[in-house]
C-alpha cells in the first residue's frame, strides 16, 4: 500500500470530532512521520473533499476536525462486540446520559446498527433478544421530555452549575425554582432531578417532563454539607414518608403473610435483620427493619389479602383505611 494512503488513513483515525480540533503541527507530532507539515495540510485538504472534514477559519494554526454530523466513527471498522455494547447502551441507559454525551455517542449508535446488520451468522446477534429489564410494576411508556430542557438540566448537573426552572407540580400552579442540581435518577420510565433550593437548601425531587423551561446559570452549584447522592437514593429519601414526618427514620415492620410470600422473602430479604417465623401450615410472621416510604405502602398493598400488617400501628391503620375506601367503591359498583 502506498505510503500516502497509509498516512492519510492514520490522519483519519486520529482526527477528532467537533468541537474538538487539532492543528497541523499537532497532527504531525502525533503521526511521528518524516513528511513536512505542508504535506499533512495537503492530505487534509484532499480528505476534506471526500469526508466531512472541516477546519476553523483562523488562517494560522487553524484546527481540523470531523464535522459534528459526520458519519465517520471507526475508520478501521467497529467490532461486533463493540456494536452490541453500543446497542445495549442505547436501549437501556440513554435517559441517564448528558445531552452533550448523547450527541457524541449518536454516530457510534448509528455505526453499531450498520455493523450488526452486516453480520449474519454471529450468535451475538441474538443476545439482545435473550435479555430484558423487567420493572416490578405495570410497564408504562416514558413521558415526553423537551430536548432543550434535558440538555440544560444535564449540562448544569455535569458542569456543577445552578439551574433555573419553571415547573408544574401536580395539582398546583406552575412555579419558578432556583436550584442546585445534585443528581439524576430514573424510576418507572420517569427521569427525576434531585436538587436543593437555593433560597432554603431544602432537598426536592423534580420530574423532568414537568419542566416547561430550564436554564443553567454561570453560578457554581452549592452542595449541602455531607450530601451523598448514592446514599440518598439507597436510603429511599427519594420517596415520600407515609406518616407525614419530615425524618426518614427506620421502622420495625411486622406482618402476617402466606407461605408463598414468605418463601419469596426468604430468597430476597427486606433487610439484613429480617426474621420469618412459621405460624401454621399456611402463614408466617415477617419482621424487618425498613424505611417507611410510600413505595413500601404500595408494595404491601399490592399483595392484597395475602398480607396483614401488624406494626407499626400507623401503617396498619393506613392500610385498613385504603382497603375500606376500596371496598366502598366496589360496593357502589355492585349495587
**Cβ distance 256 to 229 under 8 Å?**
no
In the prediction, which pLDDT does 58 show? 59
Does residue 68 contact residue 18 with C-beta atoms inside 8 Å? Answer: yes
DSSP one-letter code for 247: S
The reported pLDDT for the residue numbered 285 is: 95
Q: What is the dihedral of CA 133, 134, 140, 146, to 10 degrees?
A: -20
Helices 24-31 and 3-14 cross at an angle (nearest 10°) of 110
Q: What is the pLDDT of residue 133?
A: 67
Which stretches of the chain are DSSP H helices? 3-14, 24-31, 37-47, 80-92, 99-118, 147-159, 229-234, 259-267, 294-301, 313-334
**Gap between the Cα atoms of 281 and 112, Å rounded:** 55
Query: What's the length of the chain?
Result: 335
Per residue, the 3-state secondary structure of 23-83, as one string, reads CHHHHHHHHCCCCCHHHHHHHHHHHCCCCCEEECCCCCCCCEEECCCCCCCCCCCCCHHHH
Question: CA-CA distance, 70 to 92, in Å (whole number)?
Answer: 25
- Take residue 144 and report the three cell numbers written for it: 415526553
| Plot region of 188 (φ>0 → left; ψ -120 to 50 → alpha; else → beta) | left
pLDDT computed for residue 180 by the predictor: 95
Query: In whole angstroms, what is the distance from residue 315 CA to residue 243 CA?
Result: 8
pTM (predicted TM-score)? 0.59
Pair 64, 44: CB distance under 8 Å: yes
Q: Walk along the chain (335 residues) in steps of 10 and give the mean pLDDT of each run.
A: 73 75 84 83 83 73 74 58 79 72 73 72 71 68 86 90 92 91 85 89 89 93 87 66 56 94 91 93 93 85 92 93 89 62
Using alpha carbons, list the distances in angstroms from residue 73 to 99, 106, 147, 160, 162: 19, 10, 24, 29, 34
Amino acid at each position: 500500500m502506498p505510503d500516502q494512503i497509509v498516512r492519510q488513513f492514520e490522519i483519519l483515525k486520529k482526527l477528532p470530532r467537533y468541537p474538538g480540533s487539532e492543528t497541523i503541527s499537532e497532527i504531525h507530532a502525533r503521526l511521528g512521520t518524516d513528511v513536512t507539515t505542508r504535506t499533512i495540510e495537503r492530505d487534509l485538504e484532499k480528505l476534506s473533499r471526500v469526508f466531512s472534514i472541516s477546519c476553523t477559519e483562523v488562517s494560522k494554526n487553524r484546527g481540523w476536525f470531523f464535522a459534528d454530523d459526520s458519519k465517520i466513527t471507526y475508520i478501521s471498522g467497529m467490532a461486533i462486540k463493540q456494536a452490541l455494547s453500543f446497542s445495549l447502551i442505547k436501549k437501556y441507559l440513554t435517559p441517564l446520559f448528558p445531552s452533550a454525551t448523547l450527541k457524541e455517542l449518536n454516530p457510534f449508535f448509528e455505526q453499531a446498527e450498520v455493523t450488526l446488520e452486516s453480520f449474519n451468522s454471529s450468535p451475538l446477534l441474538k443476545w439482545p433478544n435473550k435479555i430484558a429489564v423487567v420493572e416490578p410494576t405495570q410497564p408504562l411508556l416514558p413521558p415526553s421530555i423537551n430536548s432543550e430542557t434535558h440538555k440544560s438540566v444535564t449540562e448544569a448537573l455535569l458542569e456543577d452549575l445552578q439551574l433555573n426552572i419553571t415547573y408544574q407540580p401536580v395539582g398546583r400552579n406552575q412555579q419558578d425554582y432556583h436550584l442546585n442540581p445534585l443528581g439524576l435518577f430514573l424510576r418507572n420510565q420517569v427521569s427525576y432531578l434531585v436538587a436543593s433550593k437555593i433560597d432554603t437548601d431544602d432537598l426536592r425531587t423534580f420530574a423532568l417532563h414537568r419542566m416547561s423551561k430550564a436554564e443553567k446559570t454561570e453560578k457554581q452549584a452549592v452542595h449541602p454539607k455531607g450530601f451523598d447522592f448514592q446514599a440518598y437514593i439507597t436510603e429511599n429519601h427519594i420517596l415520600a414518608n407515609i406518616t407525614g414526618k419530615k425524618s426518614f427514620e427506620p421502622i420495625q415492620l411486622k406482618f402476617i403473610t402466606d407461605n408463598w410470600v414468605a418463601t419469596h422473602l426468604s430468597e430476597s430479604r427486606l433487610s439484613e435483620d429480617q426474621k420469618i417465623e412459621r405460624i401454621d401450615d399456611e402463614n408466617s410472621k415477617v419482621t424487618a427493619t425498613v424505611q417507611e416510604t410510600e413505595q413500601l405502602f404500595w408494595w404491601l398493598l399490592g399483595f392484597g389479602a395475602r398480607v396483614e400488617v401488624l406494626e407499626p400501628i400507623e401503617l396498619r391503620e393506613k392500610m385498613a383505611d385504603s382497603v375500606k375506601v376500596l371496598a366502598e367503591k366496589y360496593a357502589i359498583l355492585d349495587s
